[in-house]
Amino acid sequence: MVNVPRLVIAAPASGSGKTTVATGLMAAFSERGLAVSPHKVGPDYIDPGYHALAVSPGASGASGAAGAAGSADRVRPGRNLDAYMCGPGLIGPLFAHGAAGCDLAVVEGVMGLYDGASGQGELASTAQVSKLLRAPVVLVVDASSQSRSVAALVHGFASWDPEVRIGGVILNKVATDRHERLLRDALDESGVPVMGVLRRADGVTAPSRHLGLVPVAERRAEAVGSMRELAARVRAGCDLEALLALARSAPALDVTPWEPAVEPVAPVAGAGRPVVAVAGGSAFTFSYAEHTELLTAAGADVVPFDPLRDEELPEGTRGLVIGGGFPEVYAPELSANEPLRKAVAELAHSGAPVAAECAGLLYLARSLDGAPMCGVLAADARMSGRLTLGYREAVAVGDSALARAGTRVRGHEFHRTVLEPGAGAAPAWGVVHPERRVEGFVQQGVHASYLHTHWAAAPELARRFVERCLVERCTT
C-alpha cells in the first residue's frame, strides 16, 4: 500500500494556468520543508524541468529543513504519467516509484481535465490519471472573462464524471477585489470550495517558442528568480493548509512501486560495465528519468555529456543515447563543435549502438537548416511551418540495437522539422496508427527516429541496448 498525500492540478482547458499553479505549489510546499514529488500527465518534457527546479533545494528560497520523510534536500526529477504510452496499469506503480519517501505529490494535468488521446475516450486524460491514483483534483479556472458563470462551469466539470473528485478551485487571473467577491459569491452554492485566488501578473511566466515553454536548462538563473516569485505569489494567494488537508484525504493506493527490474546483462570477462553516454545540456533536454534507471539496472554506467560544450564523448563510451530537444535553436553551435561531431560519427560507423529520438535524429543527419551535423544518416533536416504532434502506435520493422523485429510500442511525435528522406532503406518503425507509414533509420548499430518512446513500458529495449554495447566491445 502507498499512502502519499497527493493532488492533481487540472483545468477546463489549456492556457488556464495549470503550470503556473502546479509549479508554484511545488515550490511553496518545498519552501516549507516538505519533500515534494513532482509529476506531469502526458508526454510533456518541458514542464517536468520546471517541476524539478521547483522542488530542488534553494530554488524557491527554501531553508533546506527536512520534511517528515527526512528527504527535502534530495533532488527529484519531474516524472511523467502517460497512460497511453505506458498503459493505465503502470500509472500507479510509476507514481509510487517517483513519490517514494515524499511528504506530498503534486501532479500537473494535461490540456483540459477530460481531454485524452484523440478518439480514445478518457485514455491518457488527466481525469483518468486522477482516478487511477484516487487523487483529489484542484481545478484551476481562468476567471479573466467571467463572474457568475464560473459556478456553472465548475458545476459541470464536478458532475460530469462522479468518479472524479474535484476537491477545490483556484481562481486565476482575477482582476480586482470586486471581481473576486463576485466569483466567490457565485461559487458559494457550487459545493466546491475556493482554495486560492491569483491576480493577473506578468512577471512570473516563462517565455515560449515554437514547441511551448523554453526549457529551464536554457534559462536556469532567470528561472530560479521567477520560481521564488512564483512561490511567494502562490503562498500569498492560496490556502496551503486547506490544500495540504485535501491532499492528505486521498486514500491509500493499493499498488506495488515500479522498479527498473530488468535482468542485468551478463558481464564480459575483462570488459567491466559499459559506458553509455547520454546527451544533455541546453540542446537535448527531453528525457525520461526511467530510461537512465533502466540502463543502469541493465548493467551500464550512464554518463551525461553536453554536445554544445564537450569536444569528446565520455571516456570508454560503448553506446550513445541522444534524446529530444531543440537542436534547431542551437544548430550553428552544434555544427561548430566539429571534434564531437567527428567522434559521434566514428562511434556510429564502428557499429556501436546509438539510440536517437527526434532531436537526436536531426543531430545524426547530414545537415540541419544548412548547418553540417554528424553526417551519420544520408538525410537533411529543416524547420517547417507545420507542427507534427500526436500519439502513435508502431512496430519495429527489423532487428536493431534497440528492438527486435515485431516489437510493438506506443510513442509520441512532437516537432516542427522535416527530414528528407524521412526513412532509410531499413526503417526504424512502421507506424500503424493513426496512419500507416514507415519512418526512421536503422543502419549498423544506429536506431534513429522521430518517435519518442517510454522505456518503462518496454524495459527490454534498455536491456537489448546494453547487451549490444557488450557485444560490440567483443567484436571491435
Residue 221's pLDDT band (cuts 50, 70, 90)? low
Query: Which CATH number is correct for 6-248, 3.40.50.300, 3.30.413.10, 3.90.1150.10, 3.40.50.720?
Result: 3.40.50.300
Query: Within its chain, how far is the Cα of 431 from the centroid?
Result: 22
- Whether 238 sits among the annotated catalytic residues: the reply is no
Report which residue type is found at 410.
Answer: R
Give the right CATH number for 275-475 from 3.40.50.1700, 3.40.1440.10, 3.30.1280.10, 3.40.50.880.
3.40.50.880
Which pLDDT score is estimated for 66? Answer: 40
d(C-alpha 87, C-alpha 102), whole Å: 24
Structure confidence at residue 186 (pLDDT): 96
Q: What type of residue is 246?
A: L
Q: What is the pLDDT of residue 57?
A: 78
- Of the two residues 226 and 216, the one the predictor is more confident about is 226
Sign of CA dihedral 122, 125, 131, 136: negative
Confidence class of residue 67 from pLDDT cuts 50, 70 and 90? very low
Q: How many residues in total does the chain contain? A: 476
- Residues 237 and 239: their CA atoms lie apart, in Å, by 7
**Domain limits, the chain:** 6-248, 275-475
Domains 6-248 and 275-475 share a fold: yes
Give residue 200's pLDDT.
85
Smallest CA-to-CA distance from 453 within 399, 387, 388, 394 is with 394
Longest dimension (CA), the chain: 75
pLDDT digits (tens, 9 = 90+) for 183-214: 999 999 889 999 999 998 744 455 554 445 66
What pLDDT was estimated at residue 309?
97
For 194, the grid coordinates are 475556493
Quote the cell numbers at residue 441.
533509420
Q: What is the pLDDT of residue 61?
A: 55
pLDDT band at 60 (very low <50, low <70, confident <90, very high): low
* Predicted local distance difference test score (pLDDT) of residue 472: 62
Per residue in 258-303, pLDDT (tens digit) is: 999 888 888 776 678 999 999 999 999 999 999 999 999 999 999 9
Q: Which of 358, 374, 469, 474 is an active site residue? A: 358
∠ Cα 241 244 246 (to 5°): 110
* 3-state DSSP of the chain: CECCCEEEEECCCCCCCHHHHHHHHHHHHHHCCCCEEEEEECCCCHHHHHHHHHHCCCCCCCCCCCCCCCCCCCCCCCEEECCCCCCHHHHHHHHHHHHCCCCEEEEECCCCCCCCCCCCCCCCCHHHHHHHHCCCEEEEEECCCCCCHHHHHHHHHHHHCCCCCEEEEEEEEECCHHHHHHHHHHHCCCCCCEEEEEECCCCCCCCEECCEECCHHHCHHHHHHHHHHHHHHHHHHECHHHHHHHHHCCCCECCCCCCCCCCCCCCCCCCCCCEEEEECCCCCCECCHHHHHHHHHCCCEEEEECCCCCCCCCCCEEEEEECECCCCCCHHHHHHCHHHHHHHHHHHHCCCCEEEECHHHHHHCCEECCEECCCCCCCEEEEEEEEEEEEEEEEECCCCCCCCCCCEEEEEEEEEEEEECCECCCCCEEEEECCCEEEEEEECCEEEECCEECHHHCCHHHHHHHHHHHHHHHHC
**pLDDT (tens digit, 9 = 90+) per residue, 170-180?**
999 999 999 99
| pLDDT tens-digit map of 387-443 | 999 999 999 999 999 999 999 999 999 999 999 999 999 999 999 999 999 999 999
Q: What is the pLDDT of residues 349-361, one digit of tens each?
A: 999 999 999 999 9
Pairing of the two strands 452-453 and 408-420: antiparallel
Does residue 340 surpass a pLDDT of 90? yes
Residue 451 pLDDT more than 90?
yes
Cell of 117: 488521446
Angle, CA 465 vertex, CA 459 and CA 468 arms, to 5°:
140
pLDDT for 77 beyond 70: yes
The answer to which of 133-137, 274-278, 455-459, 471-475 has the lowest mean pLDDT is 471-475
Q: What does the pLDDT read at residue 341?
A: 98
Residue pair 443/353 in contact by the 8 Å Cβ criterion: no
The answer to whether residues 330 and 344 touch, using CB atoms and an 8 Å cutoff, is no
Residue pair 233/344 in contact (Cβ under 8 Å)? The answer is no
pLDDT of 227 reads 85
pLDDT in tens, 121-169: 999 999 999 999 999 999 999 999 999 999 999 999 999 999 999 999 9
